[in-house]
Structure 1
Amino acid sequence: MKEKTPASLNDRIAQRVRDLRADRGLSLDALAVHCGVSRSMISLIERGESSPTAVLLEKLATGLGVSLASLFDEPAPAADPVARAADQLQWRDPHSGYLRRNVSPGGFESPIQIVEVLFPPKARVAYETAAREPAIHQQVWVLEGVIDITLGEEQHRLETGDCLAMVLDRPMSYHNPSRKPTRYAVVIATLPLRK
């Protein structure tokens, strides 16, 4: 399965960030303050002129109240509820080198998203995640290898077959301590707003 070209991914991310910001009635300045990313960087991302890292995208997702995976969704809802393997979007983080594949049908109306990650040996990535409304729950299921996950003050070592459930409400980091790639699935569920 080949990775999509960076230009088309950057365009998709640009459109999603613009649409989500507009849906929330946020100016560039307001989003910048809300997520801790400079106005100029958000502008570059919205014009598709930047190859943002996973850490930067997570900050934007937190500020917009969505999951990181949703920034890769199709702009229009998917007509087909089947995501064929050959059509599943892949993206490589320019900083850590991790490769993520959105397994779920892009844009399909569902509170659940599935992402597969191939995490390089010795790689690290840290997110300044904070609570969102609606709440986003995530489970990480290790398919091959080992991954160390720090969630706030909690530390977890997961090996093949292990699964960790969490709420995305505090800083977190991933580290592959081994000399082999680790492959894991992330299942993300967004719960409806409480009334």
Structure 2
Amino acid sequence: MKHSPLPDTQRIEFGRRLRDLRKERGWTLSEVAEKSGLAISTVSKVERGMMSLTYDRLNLLANGLGVDMATFFTTEGQNFEPGGFAVARKGQFQRQETKNYVYEMLFPEMWHKAMTPMMGTLKAHDILDFDEFVRHPGQEFLMVLDGAVTVHIEGRDPVVLEQGDSIYFDSAQGHLYASAGDQDARILVVCALTEMV
């Protein structure tokens, strides 16, 4: 697998993939926006490589287009099958950088996984760095690999996690992570789309 491109290049490549997927369907920007629940201006900016999406918006876009989220990061992939097996070596990931996060998407060539594992860096140091809470269907696991992280979940007191601490929660609740110290924190996150019983 290729090493991660620079953020500007990554945004342009991502936008090109989105445009190709949209055109394959014969859809307009307006149709993608309607099906995904994103603003037309957001879809347009992403296509032009001017904007990166957070995980929750990536999820909305993938659902709207009817594709696996990994499709945005690689043109070739295989569905995960029973008995499947894959190894990700250090440095093997696809990068997705936003204003507050650097996501390292693991196993992008493995499509239709029950879980989306990501490592990342938290650039945000204050809840005020965010425009709104993130929310998406499923469950989420976070472990702090380096530094400290403040986890904000709507309706709950903030929780500070130190290196080695972890948290597990319903990701349909609004949530945000911010580095609790002066340095950017490193994290491991696993998102799982599950049907709640």
Fold match (TM-score > 0.5): yes
Amino acid corresponding to residue 139 of structure 2 in structure 1:
H
- 2:154 matches 1:152: yes
Structure 2, gaps ≥5 residues long: 80-84
Aligned position for 1:140: 142
Q: Tell me the secondary structure at the aligned position of residue 85 of structure 1.
A: coil
Q: What is the TM-score when the length of structure 2 is the normalising length?
A: 0.70
Question: What do residues 22-79 of structure 1 show as CA deviations (whole Å, max 9, x unaligned)?
Answer: 78x9864354356553213313423xx1232444x6335236449x974754232159
Trace 1:75-154 onto structure 2 (pairs within 5 A).
Answer: 75-78=75-78, 81-93=86-98, 95-96=99-100, 98-102=101-105, 104-109=106-111, 110-120=113-123, 122=125, 124-125=129-130, 127-132=132-137, 136-154=138-156
| Separation in 2, partners of 1:192, 1:74 | 27
Give 2:5's aligned residue: 4
- Equivalent residue for 1:62? 60
C-alpha displacement of 1:172: 1.7
Q: TM-score, normalised by structure 1?
A: 0.70
Aligned-partner residue type, residue 145 of structure 1: G
Give the superposed CA RMSD. 3.8
Q: Matches of 2:27 and 2:135 in 1, distance apart?
A: 19
Contact 1:122 1:177 in 2 (8 A): yes
Contact 1:121 1:177 in 2 (8 A): no
Bigger drift between 37-46 and 172-181 goes to 37-46
Q: Which amino acid aligns with 2:190?
A: V
Query: Percent identity at matched positions?
Result: 14
Q: Equivalents in 2 of 1:153, 1:166: separation in Å?
A: 13
1:164 has 2:167 as partner: yes
Whole-angstrom CA distance in 2 between matches of 1:21 and 1:114: 29
Q: In the aligned structure 2, how far is the partner of 1:16 from the partner of 1:122?
A: 31
Work out whether residues 150 and 177 of structure 2, in 8 Å CA contact, stay in contact via their aligned partners in 1.
yes
Paired residue secondary structure (1:166) = strand
Q: For residue 51 of structure 1, what is the aligned residue in structure 2?
A: 50
**Any conservation in 2 of the 1:147–1:158 contact (CA below 8 Å)?**
yes
Task: Tell me by how many angstroms 1:14 deviates.
Answer: 4.5
- Tell me the CA shift for residue 106 of structure 1: 1.0
What letter is aligned with 1:164?
I
| Structure 1 spans left out of the alignment, 5+ residues | none
> What amino acid is the match of 1:59?
R
2:22, 2:191 → 1: CA distance?
18
SS in 1 for 2:60: helix
- Distance in 2 between the 1:157 and 1:26 partners? 44
When the two structures are aligned, how many residues end up with a matched partner?
Answer: 183
User: Counterparts of 1:139 and 1:129 in 2: how far apart (Å)?
Assistant: 14
